[in-house]
Structure 1
Amino acid sequence: MGAEQETELVVVTGVSGGGRSTVARALENVGFYVVDNLPQALLVQLAELAAKAGGAARKTAMVLDVRSRAFSTDLSGAIRELQERGYTPRVVFVDADDEVLIRRFESVRRSHPLQGDGRLSDGIAEERALLAEAREQADVLIDTSHLNVNQLRARVEELFASPEELKLRVTVLSFGFKYGLPPDADFVLDTRFLPNPYWVPELRDHSGREEQVSKYVLGQRGASTFVETYARMVMTTAPGFEREGKRYLTVAVGCTGGKHRSVAIAEELARRLRELRVVAHAQHRDLGRE
């Protein structure tokens, strides 16, 4: 299979106010390299660059709006040229009812890009005429008239994401409270209720990643229940986070210095989550800082 066949191209176009920006963000969330407001005349050149670059660029989305037609109005010709070169682009057209578009523009107090000195409805009508052929030739038509942002995102993910890309990824992050809370934490767990290995001379110089410290911490009363409780919490909330489009969750586990208790608990929690088929890994923010 050549680089052209391996390159997944998506061309997003549609009416202004229809939701192209939301579609673009949703495509980014599922691994696409997104280029916004690309002149149509550059479609083929970008496809060639994506094919040569490989890697993350193998999934590339190009978002076109009516302003890009200043360079070329021949979207059909550009798509045809891509196909002749061995690419299989999918064209997504985003649309909405005129009344809905008018409400959206009025709510943000913006004029339509083709409105000029006329009314909003005049700009919408002119744009529809310009985009009529592109709408007819689209592989996917998404009417956003009755979709909110989350519903539109879910629709795009349904079309373009693999099951693996939709899974929530959990980072279990150990830290020391004396160095401050992690600003990106979604949940904060406090392990300072457990005895501190720092006060055990033979454990002081070791970390929670080492077996003797890990056994000491996890062998304390309540440690196993603590880990199990928060593993269940992640499992309980994960489906809701996934439905809301959250793909990364940070569970911060703290102790005083971020060397012993939090590290051991973070490693064990990540291990338990992996056993439950959650994509999880442990990181240690403050290990080695003391």
Structure 2
Amino acid sequence: MAEIVLISGLSGAGRSGAANVLEDLGWFVIDNLPTALVSTFVDLAAKPGSEIAKLALVGGRDHANVLSKVAELRADGHNVRVLFLDTTTAQLVKRYDATRRRHPLAAQADGLVESIELERKQLDKVRGSADLIIDTTDLNVHQLKDRILQAFDHGTESRLQVAVESFGFKHGLPLDADMVLDVRFLPNPHWDEGLRPLTGHDPAVSDYVLETSSGSDFVDRIHDLLSSLLPQYESEGRSYLTVAIGCTGGRHRSVAVAEELAGRLRSDGVAVRAAHRDLAR
């Protein structure tokens, strides 16, 4: 049985970049493959003597049949994961303006923004069924590579991988969040002139946030909640979970809480990484 990753997502969101990283990891990559041909290539990869152990398929424009094909492959016993690359419409407009390329759906819509939103609508069900969503809005090519490596460079390990991501609400919600937690009720170091230039990585800020009764109680409760939920997600076949923790700016409270929570989960043996989207803003 083949191990398969279907790479989907918005045009311009980084599908080709993700495919290149997987190819470097030894995956056999086929770009822009019509859904009707997926079974043919999977059958070839699964034949005795085939040297293709891992197959990455970059989806084409036939969005309507993607999920039915994924269900068919899983029913045949293949290990199939769906990776979805997402980004904001504003960011996509910037990328298309920079490359001067034509959007694939330009003939079906009036203008670039309309083309992007049309494709977003067509891909809504695929996004909702994805095993892993990566928001590339604020990622450069190196950061995208790191995210792909963290998700896929684990040999045969299949246990649930958790990302704890801090962010600032004033910069918008992370597109790849499965669970969003609001910590704006905690004491805000921003109003302390000595703490304002620091971040949640600094012990003074971390202590200010976490050594209060509200801070320690919140982390205790969320840790307990996740400890009970993660085995349930894993038993349902979930491979990835992103927990987003937000404060106002994404530099102090959310960072301190995310680091503390990630550290506790790591001590529990959970495969976890901490990320901080808005730390440098």
TM-score (norm 1): 0.51
Q: Deviations over 1:56-89 (max 9, x none)?
A: 41111000132xx1xx721111011101111120
Q: 1:38 aligns with which of 33, 36, 43?
A: 33
CA distance in 2, matches of 1:55, 1:143: 34
Q: 3-state DSSP class of the match of 1:78?
A: helix
1:129 corresponds to 2:121: yes
Q: Which amino acid aligns with 1:110?
A: R
The question of whether the paired residues in 1 share the 8 Å contact of 2:35 and 2:60 is answered with no
The question of whether the paired residues in 2 share the 8 Å contact of 1:8 and 1:60 is answered with yes
CA distance in 1, matches of 2:28, 2:56: 6
The question of whether the paired residues in 1 share the 8 Å contact of 2:84 and 2:134 is answered with yes
Structure 1 pair 126/56, CA: closer, same or farther in 2 (3 Å)? same
Q: Which residue of 1 aligns with 2:13?
A: 18
Q: Which amino acid aligns with 2:9?
A: G
The question of whether the paired residues in 2 share the 8 Å contact of 1:33 and 1:56 is answered with no
The question of whether the paired residues in 2 share the 8 Å contact of 1:112 and 1:123 is answered with yes
Segments of structure 2 that go 5 or more residues without pairing to the other structure are: 157-281
1:154-233 alignment runs, 5 A limit: 154-162=146-154
Between the two proteins, the alignment pairs up a number of residues equal to 155
The question of whether the paired residues in 2 share the 8 Å contact of 1:32 and 1:59 is answered with yes
Q: 2:99 aligns with which of 98, 108, 129?
A: 108
Structure 1 pair 103/142, CA: closer, same or farther in 2 (3 Å)? same
Q: Which amino acid aligns with 1:114?
A: L
Q: Which residue of 2 aligns with 1:8?
A: 3
CA distance in 2, matches of 1:99, 1:123: 13
Q: Which residue of 1 aligns with 2:77?
A: 86
The question of whether the paired residues in 1 share the 8 Å contact of 2:44 and 2:50 is answered with no
CA distance in 1, matches of 2:115, 2:148: 27
The alignment-based identity, stated in percent, is 38
Q: 1:47 aligns with which of 33, 42, 45?
A: 42
Q: Which amino acid aligns with 1:26?
A: V
CA distance in 1, matches of 2:64, 2:49: 29
Q: Which amino acid aligns with 1:43?
A: V
Q: Which amino acid aligns with 1:144?
A: T
Q: Which residue of 2 aligns with 1:184?
A: none
CA distance in 2, matches of 1:129, 1:58: 33
Q: Which residue of 1 aligns with 2:140?
A: 148
Q: 3-state DSSP class of the match of 1:37?
A: strand
CA distance in 1, matches of 2:35, 2:64: 7
Q: Which amino acid aligns with 2:112?
A: L
Q: CA deviation at 1:118?
A: 1.9
The question of whether the paired residues in 1 share the 8 Å contact of 2:83 and 2:131 is answered with yes
1:60-71 alignment runs, 5 A limit: 60-66=55-61, 69=62
Q: 3-state DSSP class of the match of 2:79?
A: coil
Q: Deviations over 1:228-249 (max 9, x none)?
A: xxxxxxxxxxxxxxxxxxxxxx
Q: CA deviation at 1:34?
A: 0.1
Q: 3-state DSSP class of the match of 2:137?
A: coil
Q: Deviations over 1:125-146 (max 9, x none)?
A: 1101111110000001011001
Q: CA deviation at 1:163?
A: 7.0
CA distance in 1, matches of 2:15, 2:127: 14
TM-score (norm 2): 0.53
4+ runs deviating over 4 angstroms? none
Output the aligned Cα RMSD.
1.8
Q: 3-state DSSP class of the match of 1:16?
A: coil
Q: CA deviation at 1:110?
A: 1.2
Q: CA deviation at 1:121?
A: 0.3
Structure 1 pair 54/34, CA: closer, same or farther in 2 (3 Å)? farther
